[in-house]
Amino acid sequence: SQTIHQWPATLVQPVGSPLSLECTVEGTSNPNLYWYRQAAGRGLQLLFYSVGIGQISSEVPQNLSASRPQDRQFILSSKKLLLSDSGFYLCAFGQGSYEQYFGPGTRLTVT
């Protein structure tokens, strides 16, 4: 069966520190992968999506970057976190059938 893993579940980081959030998918191959963010009191927003290894599209200018080093691995990174990077980060995958499956999310607090 298809599953999606995301870690860590919660993270508290100081301003200026680096960030690495990891997402892995099992039970499928060549999925579309997505990173979404939900800032406090706001709706979900697409940050990045990937249709294949090494292929990353960015939706909004920001302090973050994404990479897809393997078919089922999607990483969200930052070299120096800002306060405004705080939020709830969700990874998701799709298989080209319009269905999308969401990970459990990472709640990031930048202090």
Partner 1 sequence: KNEVEQSPQNLTAQEGEFITINCSYSVGISALHWLQQHPGGGIVSLFMLSSGKKKHGRLIATINIQEKHSSLHITASHPRDSAVYICAGISNFGNEKLTFGTGTRLTIIP
Task: Tell which residue, 88, 56, 58, 71, has the closest CA to residue 25.
Answer: 71
In the block, tokens 């191959």 appear at 29
Q: 51 near 110, Cβ under 8 Å?
A: no
Among positive and negative, which fits the CA dihedral 104, 50, 41, 84?
Answer: positive
Pick 64 or 90: Cβ nearer partner 1: 90
For partner 1, the closer of residues 49 and 74 by Cβ is: 49
Q: Which is nearer to partner 1, 81 or 90 (CB)?
A: 90
Chain centroid to Cα 8, Å, comes to 11
Residue 32 vs 73, nearer CB to partner 1: 32
Beta carbon of residue 55, minimum distance to partner 1 (angstroms, whole number):
10
Minimum CB distance to partner 1, residue 15 (Å) = 22
Smallest distance, partner 1 to C-beta of residue 42, A: 8
| Interface residues toward partner 1, by CB under 8 A | 32, 34, 36, 38, 43-46, 49, 51, 57, 59, 88, 90, 92, 94, 96, 98-102, 104-105, 107
- Alpha-carbon distance of 111 to 12, in angstroms, equals 7
